[in-house]
Amino acid sequence: MAFRKPPDGGWGWVIVVVSFFTQFLCYGSPLAVGVLYLEWLDAFGEGKGKTAWVGSLANGIGLLASPVCSICVSSFGARPVAIFSGFMVAGGLMMSSFAPNIYFLYVSYGIVVGLGCGLLYTATVTITCQYFDKRRGLALGLISTGSSVGLFIYAALQRELIELYGLDGCLLIVGALSLNILACGSLMRPLESSSSPPPEKTCVDKVPDQYFVYHEKEKTVEENISILEKGYIDEKCVNSVPDCKQESILNKNVLSSININEKDTYKKKVVEQTNFCKQLAKRKWQLYLTYWKETMVLFKNKVFSALFVAILLFDIGGFPPSLLMEDVARSANISEDDYYMPLISIIGIMTTVGKLILGILADFKWVNTLYLYVTTLIMTGVALFAIPFAKSYLTLAMLSGILGFLTGNWSIFPYVTTKTVGIEKLTHAYGILMFFAGLGNSLGPPIVGWFYDWTQEYDTAFYFSGFCVLLGGFLLLLAALPCWNACTNQSSKLPPNTYSYKVASNA
């Protein structure tokens, strides 16, 4: 379906508002899971690495399923997917309040809530990109701040609810709040299609209609013949009994001829249905081949290939602080008197600021969004290396703010993806990239937790995290350098239909 030109306003601003609140409601608890993480450690007595799987699955499973989420949004639209996902998030949170062990939480909180969040994220990003073109960076920055504001508010809210109603009551109340996603999803009106006439159906598409029409016509004729025969026989039988016998003999001959015709008709229907199934299977197979060919074309773009490595390493190293920073402070024996604000809340509010500022910067013509994204990766790696040297609440709070601001690069990631592969390939490419981001989100916190269980300190874990993020940033920078582009272009030419990111152009 061809959509009309993005309006860059109008109902698009309503889409921005409801997408903001959708991400606020669905991601508030999973991103602030660090508060629940401490409670689960005390409640179930499992190791840090094992318990960290709950939060990592909740934030990673939706991204792992991004290709499936993209297919769902493309097939059914953003509105139905958002409403259905609202039930998933609310139901998963409420089920988690009855968890008897950590394994139950893997399913209820990790998989159900995580998959619902992934569907909602894909729906909000896709419909926002459809409504905005020139102001896409600002729009994506605004809606992505919803998850950051949710992190800031839910960190304090869940802590307060746990003190008042316990862990189970907290999850029930948070799940009930998530039902408001249904109201937000109902307002995601799809962008109207263009006024161009719809394309004609192919022969394969016409087969079902022809078959069903033929079947209905045949059924109607048979029913009419049987009704006329019955009425005619009844009328003759009432007038005279002898004629009735003659007519019955005649009708038997007619029915025998009809049976022969029915056999021929049945054979024709079997042949038509068999041909239809073969053509349908052939068309589906062609679609799968086309999908994999397009995927291979994407990976021939060196910037896209470096981008998927960078996002994987970034999430392995950059996500654990938002989940484990509260436990880092507790392990450093920081006094509660010095604890003015939860570190997760600081990460959340600074992520909001970072998303807004980076989103606005992405709209300036003189700013290259790819270089901007690489800069945030390198700075994140340096900040992660500094965490082991922070032994007071003030230094941890400063590093939390820096990491939160740099994590705001999520607002420009769809923008970078669009500039790399084009708007036509956005849904396909973004689903692939989010799969690797989800893999990093799922592996990062457990790896850091296992490092702690092994060494009984977080220093080695954060050195490893910083190294991963720095490596991803430098690989992406190397792929985007103009000198590397020149060397590659001399050695080999890009295949047709391959999108390349021109670093020298204004992004």
Host H or E run for residue 359 = helix 343-362
Give 274-283 contacts, CB < 8 A, sequence gap 24+: 275/207, 276/204, 276/207, 276/208, 276/211, 279/203, 279/204, 279/207, 280/204, 280/207, 283/204
Residue 308's pLDDT band (cuts 50, 70, 90): confident
Question: Which of 17-31, 278-292, 304-318 shows the lowest per-residue confidence on average (mean pLDDT)?
Answer: 278-292
- pLDDT score of 90: 94
What percentage of the chain has pLDDT greater than the value 90?
20
Asked if 233 and 255 count as a contact pair (C-beta separation under 8 A), the reply is no
**Which of the two residues, 375 and 412, has the higher pLDDT score?**
375
**Which of the two residues, 359 and 246, has the higher pLDDT score?**
359
- 18: tokens are 């409801």
- pLDDT score of 253: 56
- pLDDT score of 26: 92
- pLDDT score of 258: 55
Question: What string of DSSP letters covers 406-429?
Answer: HHGGGGTHHHHHHHHH-GGGHHHH
- What SS3 state is found at 193? strand
- pLDDT score of 505: 34
- 188: tokens are 């995601």
Identify the top-confidence range among 75-79, 106-110, 458-462: 106-110
CA-CA distance, 482 to 274, in Å (whole number)? Answer: 56
CA-CA distance, 233 to 288, in Å (whole number)? Answer: 58
Rg (CA), the chain: 30
- What SS3 state is found at 3? strand
**Which of the two residues, 372 and 423, has the higher pLDDT score?**
372
Asked if 345 and 35 count as a contact pair (C-beta separation under 8 A), the reply is no
Nearest to 322, CA basis, from 272, 238, 276, 387: 387
Please give the domain boundaries of the chain with CATH numbers for all domains: 7-193 (1.20.1250.20), 301-483 (1.20.1250.20)
Nearest to 315, CA basis, from 436, 475, 226, 200: 436
Residue 103's pLDDT band (cuts 50, 70, 90): very high
Residue 447's pLDDT band (cuts 50, 70, 90): confident
Residue 417, CB-side half-sphere exposure with 13 Å CA sphere: 27
pLDDT surpasses 50 at 228: no
Residue 145's pLDDT band (cuts 50, 70, 90): confident
**Burial classification of residue 435, based on how many CB atoms lie within 10 Å of its CB (0-12 exposed, 13-18 middle, 19 or more buried):** buried
Q: Mean pLDDT throughout 124-131?
A: 86
